[in-house]
Structure 1
Amino acid sequence: MKRVLIWAASACAVLFGTAEFVHATHRHAGGQAGQAHAQRQTLPTKSLTEQLQDDHRDMGVPPVDARTDRVWHAIPGLCGWRLDVAESERATRMATDGKRHLVWRLVPPRVRLSMLPADPIYRGPETEKSVALMVNVSWGEEYIPAMLSAFKRANVKATFFIDGKWASAHPDLLRKIAADGHAIGSHGSGHPDFRKLSAAALARQVDGTNDVIARMIGRRPRLIAPPAGSYDDRLVNMAHERGMYTILWTVDTVDWRRPPAQMIVDRVKRGMAPGALILMHPTQSTVEALPQILHMLSVAGFHTKTVEDVVDERPAMMPPSILSPVPTV
């Protein structure tokens, strides 16, 4: 079915400061919600309004608040879905296909990630069966085209954390990554140990790398992944002051050591869990492992999202928005 998205804002982060937005799509998500719908079709005795109210009870999703965890630090929340019964009834009565047309409103959490104190992020919320794939890039440009092809075949968007020096040397490849729809974050410049830098040098790493990337793709990164995961509170606070988030990982493939591809697949298999951030690098082993990883995640029922989606608390999946038939009274 064709998919129609009606957004009152371009991103959940912008939306939350104003109002909820309407999301209507012509894709049926199936699952337990669809099963509940199928069971009710055997008793088509309720009014349309009552049936829509049942749809909300069956398929509506409550939002999840962001929180600070003593182990995982800042854990983003997740938007929920609420059925707009009045708009759904109007859309259904206007339609000529005899089906129920459901209009969903995205509901923000009461506690947003942006409300929490500055803290690094190691994972997304556990309440959604999704993962985010991360690629730290300071080298390995020869392997990136193959990775992009694998992502494209699987219809997956990843998050590439880009080294500023690498970006200056490979501007066309960076633009290709961005043009393919992947999220872009900062990985500093030159792969230094951020903990050993002076405050001024650290600020140059953050701001200078952002400047380089912005010149290449026309927007400044909102995410920074410290090289080798080395950071301290200075980086976390500096990023927070600039509206950025410090990103670490849940699952490390350790692919930079160039192990056999199957070892990378096995590491992802052991660590994949709802909310996991999975770290990779551009290597030959990763290129060989990536199609298997993407297939494995899909078969296991995981959705994928970018780290920008994670910090913006955008859900990776949506309730169904066309159901049939319309009940008779």
Structure 2
Amino acid sequence: MSVRKAATIAASMLMLIVFIRINDDVSGYLSSLKNTPSVAVSTMQLTSEDEERQRLMSIISAEADQRRIAPEDARIDRVWKAIPGYNGLEVDIPKTLEAALKEPSQSTIPYVFKEVEPKVKLNDLGAYPIYRGNANKKMISFMINVAWGNEYIDSILKSLKQENVKATFFLDGSWLKKNAEIAKQIQAEGHEMSNHAYSHPDMSALSRQDQYNQIAKTEALLKSTLNVTNRWFAPPSGDFNSATVQIAAQSGLQTVLWTIDTVDWRKPPADSIVRKIAAKLEPGSLILMHPTASSRDALPGMIAAAKAKGYAIGTVSETLSSKRIPAAVEGTD
């Protein structure tokens, strides 16, 4: 065999080997595509989901700026003294995005909100009396000061229960000591129990030590008899001085007065009380009453007047809290 012929045969054999190797690689590649179509599809799905997530995030973030309501700081008013703050409202972007991704059509976005507390809270203001809640919070409270009038308490509790209303009862300490079972009945109905001094004195006429004793004795009874951790002090007859407010604050209490007085101790007709309350009612109003026949008879009408104006009715703690009330009640969110 000639050298040229041998070289030709060798070249042909090499080309055949290369062809077979290339053919095997192509076949393997094609086979791999046939066996793993989900990889390509999955990659496309992830890309589509990411794009949708980014689209929704862009919409939600832009809308969040428009829907934000700034919190309102607690402040000192020239007339009303300490005024509670009011929580702001803003879109919870991560929770809203999560909720939107679960919507079948994603055509509407179910916005989820969260409250934002003010920087300055009621406790930050120092020792000032409080006469009302925040004017942007459409909630009012009944303050029921109890030092006498046991015969009307059952009827008042019945009216409150029928209307699903919780009130704040400010208890005279000497009354509480004699009427622990009645106090426990009031508490069992879910009402708030607070401090009304011990023997119904004019606080401003007392020494600092005597003022302290009046508050401390009742506070101890609230704890020992009812296991109450109290926040509020209502001075008897609304009589106080700067020392009263300071001593209450040193005892961990804030001094609360009222926005509207039923003056029920004068025994006015129930309908005149209802008309007065209906005319003067404003957001944040604290309504003073006692367990008297006049307030017993007026209470259902007072509650009806408040509800007719769209007010939520809560305890003093609820009304003076910076927490928002439901938008259905508030009508502004």
Q: Which residue of 2 aligns with 1:84?
A: 92
Check whether the contact 2:134–2:283 (CA below 8 A) recurs between aligned residues: yes
Q: Which residue of 1 aligns with 2:30?
A: none
Q: Which residue of 2 aligns with 1:62?
A: 70
Aligned partner letter, 2:81 = H
Q: 2:143 pairs with 120, 123, 134, which one?
A: 134
User: How far off is 1:314 after superposition?
Assistant: 2.2
1:276 is the counterpart of 2:285: yes
Q: Which residue of 1 aligns with 2:324?
A: 315
In 2, Cα distance between equivalents of 1:93 and 1:319: 26
In 2, Cα distance between equivalents of 1:291 and 1:58: 41
In 2, Cα distance between equivalents of 1:162 and 1:80: 34
User: How far off is 1:84 after superposition?
Assistant: 0.6
In 1, Cα distance between equivalents of 2:151 and 2:57: 57
Check whether the contact 2:212–2:248 (CA below 8 A) recurs between aligned residues: no
Aligned partner letter, 2:180 = P
CA shift digits 1:3-34 (9 cap, x unpaired) = xxxxxxxxxxxxxxxxxxxxxxxxxxxxxxxx
| Gap change, CA 1:247 and 1:48, over 3 Å in 2 | same
Q: Which residue of 2 aligns with 1:289?
A: 298
| Gap change, CA 1:304 and 1:50, over 3 Å in 2 | farther
Q: How many residues align?
A: 275
SS state at 2:76 partner: strand
Q: Which residue of 1 aligns with 2:39?
A: none
SS state at 1:131 partner: strand
Check whether the contact 2:139–2:319 (CA below 8 A) recurs between aligned residues: no
SS state at 1:111 partner: coil
In 2, Cα distance between equivalents of 1:211 and 1:256: 28
Check whether the contact 1:158–1:183 (CA below 8 A) recurs between aligned residues: yes
User: How far off is 1:56 after superposition?
Assistant: 4.9
Aligned partner letter, 1:145 = D
User: How far off is 1:50 after superposition?
Assistant: 6.1
- Residue segments in structure 1 that go unaligned for 5+ positions in a row: 1-46, 321-329
Q: Which of structures 1 and 2 has the larger relative contact order (alpha carbons within 8 angstroms, sep 6+)?
A: 1
User: How far off is 1:230 after superposition?
Assistant: 0.3
If you compute each CA radius of gyration, which structure gives the higher value, 1 or 2?
A: 2
In 1, Cα distance between equivalents of 2:105 and 2:228: 43
Worse overlay, 94-103 or 149-158: 94-103
Residue identity over aligned pairs, in percent, reads 36
Return the TM-score normalized by structure 2. Answer: 0.76
5 Å-filtered alignment, 1:1-329, equals: 48-49=56-57, 52=60, 56=64, 60-94=68-102, 102-318=111-327
In 1, Cα distance between equivalents of 2:250 and 2:327: 33
In 1, Cα distance between equivalents of 2:82 and 2:170: 20
Check whether the contact 1:157–1:306 (CA below 8 A) recurs between aligned residues: yes
Aligned partner letter, 1:312 = S
CA shift digits 1:125-167 (9 cap, x unpaired) = 1112221211111111221122122122222211111111111
User: How far off is 1:93 after superposition?
Assistant: 4.0
Aligned partner letter, 1:121 = I
| Gap change, CA 1:111 and 1:92, over 3 Å in 2 | same
In 1, Cα distance between equivalents of 2:58 and 2:302: 43
In 2, Cα distance between equivalents of 1:126 and 1:66: 11
User: How far off is 1:104 after superposition?
Assistant: 2.8
Larger proportion of helix: 2
Aligned partner letter, 1:67 = R
Check whether the contact 2:72–2:118 (CA below 8 A) recurs between aligned residues: yes
| Gap change, CA 1:298 and 1:58, over 3 Å in 2 | farther
SS state at 1:203 partner: helix
SS state at 1:147 partner: helix
SS state at 2:284 partner: coil
| Gap change, CA 1:310 and 1:55, over 3 Å in 2 | farther
In 2, Cα distance between equivalents of 1:77 and 1:189: 31
CA shift digits 1:108-137 (9 cap, x unpaired) = 112111111311001111112221211111
In 1, Cα distance between equivalents of 2:302 and 2:185: 23
SS state at 1:220 partner: coil
In 1, Cα distance between equivalents of 2:92 and 2:229: 36
| Gap change, CA 1:300 and 1:319, over 3 Å in 2 | closer
| Gap change, CA 1:184 and 1:48, over 3 Å in 2 | farther
CA shift digits 1:183-242 (9 cap, x unpaired) = 221001121111111221111111110001111211232100000000001110011122
In 1, Cα distance between equivalents of 2:217 and 2:141: 26
- Residue segments in structure 2 that go unaligned for 5+ positions in a row: 1-54
| Gap change, CA 1:130 and 1:58, over 3 Å in 2 | farther
Q: Which residue of 1 aligns with 2:45?
A: none
